[in-house]
């Protein structure tokens, strides 16, 4: 009889390398928001992939970056905490670019961990480079860290994805599953709904607005065969941003609502009525009390 394998895998990398895209692809369904904009992921999220032979517990993490506010510091802490007490670290990098400052930051971070888990280095977006470029990038990225197996893949197109998954399973310890086979994430449905509304904002809004957006689910009411009624508030940092999100004749808010509703319905498999409103929470990304109200577990900064 084949032994069952189970383990925890932390997916790390700088913003916009495709961590959430890869997680969704492994899961075969969308559980994490994905947009072309950096820093889409703000919280650590589990993706739990269970088969008859194994259970892989992926930790999708915020991109490690140079923070400019308290929220950014929190996101880095979320990512860094996911490097400890895991069975394997999957470091995802962008094969279409040379290693940058944020890659060096991650390499330095992992070098400083005394008891680091084994690592796989995966070069994503190989569909965007030619073979000569890929060979040079492999060498450059592999030089940043020692004792890491190197893979190449395209998370969106699927090249190399199955080979990577097989290697992940092979490296997992023999262990009983930690979660019920039906569970696919540690996020509740209302939390995923909030992330999908924010994803819609990131897709439709100008570059200067979306990262100042936060979404709170005010009501999530099940209505049996009629589906669900969701009421949500979109928070922004300035009054001018509120006008941009609403748009002329509420046109932009309608676009955001339609996109978000379609994604939530696809995720939940039922009809959804989605009601959105917009409020200003001035400079909330640098406000500890506001961040806590929004559910971020912010530690009080020590006074110098």
Rounded to whole angstroms, the Cα distance separating 164 from 35 reads 23
pLDDT at 204: 92
Q: Rounded distance, CA 90 to CA 59, Å?
A: 10
Superfamily of domain 5-171: P-loop containing nucleotide triphosphate hydrolases (3.40.50.300)
Q: Domain 189-293 classified CATH 3.30.300.20?
A: yes
pLDDT tens per residue across span 90-125: 999 999 999 999 999 999 888 877 677 899 999 999
For residue 114, what pLDDT is reported?
Answer: 66
Q: Give the full edge-to-edge strand order of the sheet including 272-280.
A: 214-222, 228-236, 272-280
CA neighbor of 10 nearest in space, from 37, 51, 45, 54: 45
Summarize pLDDT for 51-76 with one digit per residue, the tens.
999 999 999 888 888 888 899 888 88
Q: Give CA–CA dist 212/235, Å, rounded.
A: 8
Residue closest to 209 by CA, chosen among 280, 265, 117: 280
Confidence of residue 300 (pLDDT cuts 50, 70, 90): low
- Say how far apart CA 284 and CA 294 lie, in whole Å: 9
Determine the average pLDDT of the residues in 25-54. 85
Q: Phi and psi dihedrals of 58, rounded to 5?
A: -85, 140
| Extended strands (E) in the chain | 5-12, 45-50, 54-60, 88-94, 119-124, 148-152, 214-222, 228-236, 272-280
Distance between CA atoms of residues 200 and 276, nearest Å: 12
Residue boundaries of the structural domains of the chain: 5-171, 189-293
- Token digits of residue 48: 């739990």
In whole angstroms, give the CA distance from residue 210 to residue 201: 6
* Interacting residues of 188 by C-beta distance below 8 A, sequence separation 6+: none
On the question of pLDDT at 301 being above 60, the answer is no
Question: Model confidence over 253-275: pLDDT tens digits?
Answer: 999 999 999 999 998 888 999 99
């Amino acid at each position: 009889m084949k032994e069952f394998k189970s383990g925890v895998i932390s997916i790390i990398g700088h913003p916009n390398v495709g961590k959430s895209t890869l997680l969704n692809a492994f899961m075969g369904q969308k559980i994490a928001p994905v947009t072309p904009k950096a820093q889409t992921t703000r919280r650590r999220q589990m993706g739990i992939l269970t088969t008859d032979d194994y259970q892989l517990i992926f930790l999708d993490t915020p991109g490690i970056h140079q923070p400019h506010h308290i929220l950014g510091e929190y996101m880095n802490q979320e990512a860094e905490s996911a490097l400890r007490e895991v069975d394997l670290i999957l470091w995802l990098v962008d094969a279409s670019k040379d290693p940058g400052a944020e890659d060096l930051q991650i390499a330095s971070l992992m070098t400083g961990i005394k008891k680091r888990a084994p690592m796989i280095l995966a070069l994503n977006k190989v569909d965007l480079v030619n073979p000569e470029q890929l060979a040079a990038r492999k060498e450059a990225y592999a030089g940043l860290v020692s004792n890491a197996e190197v893979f190449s893949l395209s998370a969106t197109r699927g090249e190399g994805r199955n080979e990577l998954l097989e290697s992940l399973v092979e490296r997992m310890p023999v262990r009983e599953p930690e979660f019920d086979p039906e569970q696919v994430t540690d996020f509740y449905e209302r939390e995923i709904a909030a992330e999908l509304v924010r994803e819609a904002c990131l897709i439709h809004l100008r570059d200067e607005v979306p990262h100042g957006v936060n979404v709170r689910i005010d009501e999530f009411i099940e209505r049996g065969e009629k589906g669900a009624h969701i009421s949500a508030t979109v928070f922004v940092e300035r009054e001018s941003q509120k006008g941009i999100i609403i748009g002329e004749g509420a046109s932009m808010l309608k676009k955001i609502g339609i996109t978000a509703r379609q994604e939530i319905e696809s995720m939940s498999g039922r009809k959804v009525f989605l009601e959105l409103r917009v409020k200003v929470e001035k400079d909330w990304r640098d406000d500890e009390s506001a961040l806590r109200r929004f559910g971020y577990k912010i530690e009080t900064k020590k006074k110098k």
